Structure 1
Amino acid sequence: MTAAPEAPADAPPGERGETRISDRAVARIVARAAGEIEESGGLGRSLLGVSVPGRRAARTEVRVDGHIVTARVALSVMYPMPVRDTARRVRENVRERVEALTGLTVRQVDVDVAELKHPPAHERTVL
């Protein structure tokens, strides 16, 4: 373990100490940002292979290396929305939100579309 150089006691508060943002905190920001795109959503839940009502947030994997973030997001896209366009919008929103909220640089955001979700029956239109 290495110690950070100490700032003089009379240094302004902004120059004393350091701020660390955990991978878990960044992962939560990534999941929230992915969910902000209307056409995307979390993944369905299942128990022993049987679907369980309700949805959960997008699944995320995040790595923070210094000030660089790489992220992977697994989510669903509302059918029949364009998958590539939705994934691009998710990627852009994740990058913008993580950089704005943490000050870290997002190097890469991989988006895995794991499911297509159908709108609820009351929202479906009959052609």
Structure 2
Amino acid sequence: MTVEAPQRRGTTVVADRAVQRIAEQVITGLDGVGGAARRVLGVAVGSGDPEQPANVTARVRDGRVSLAVELSVGYPAPVAHTTRAARERLAREVGELTGLVVERVDITVTALHSDRSRERSLA
């Protein structure tokens, strides 16, 4: 019985959609990050919903991943710190879970959300 070398056994392809779903799960676990603001004709309307997931688009080419993320950040958290933490975690965890190299994570903050606005909507 002869075993072929690993490079001759076949290839594994991870689809864009699979990477997108993984990234959505990773970003959902981050504190202070919520869903993107709703858009009407390309204009953000209202604030983001902290209970909704962020919008993620993934592109996989030649074993490399580019992510585009639209999200809201909890007020008064520092936006730069929150997005840096999100970018680092996405790159690390998506890379670990897929075995791909995450070379780019673009983040667009579409709104700020606060716990107070959430409390008002529950009252």
TM-score, with length taken from structure 1: 0.75
Whether the 8 Å CA contact 1:31–1:73 is kept in 2: the answer is no
Whether the 8 Å CA contact 1:43–1:114 is kept in 2: the answer is yes
Runs of 4+ in 1 over 3 A off after TM superposition: 12-15, 44-47
Give matches, 1:42-121, under 5 Å.
42-44=35-37, 55-119=51-115, 120-121=118-119
Q: Which runs of 5+ in 1 are unaligned?
A: 1-8, 123-127
Q: Which has the higher helix share?
A: 2
Aligned to 1:26: 19
- In structure 1, how many angstroms separate the alpha carbons of the residues matched to 2:97 and 2:33? 21
Tell me the matched-pair count. Answer: 113
Whether the 8 Å CA contact 1:60–1:72 is kept in 2: the answer is yes
Q: Which has the larger radius of gyration?
A: 1
- In structure 1, how many angstroms separate the alpha carbons of the residues matched to 2:112 and 2:102? 27
Q: Which runs of 5+ in 2 are unaligned?
A: none
The amino acid of 2:15's aligned partner reads: S
Change (3 A) 1:72 1:12: same
Higher relative contact order (CA 8 A, sep 6+): 2
The amino acid of 1:56's aligned partner reads: Q
**Deviation of 1:12 (Å):** 5.7
Taking only aligned residues, the RMSD between alpha carbons, in angstroms, comes to 2.9
TM-score, with length taken from structure 2: 0.77
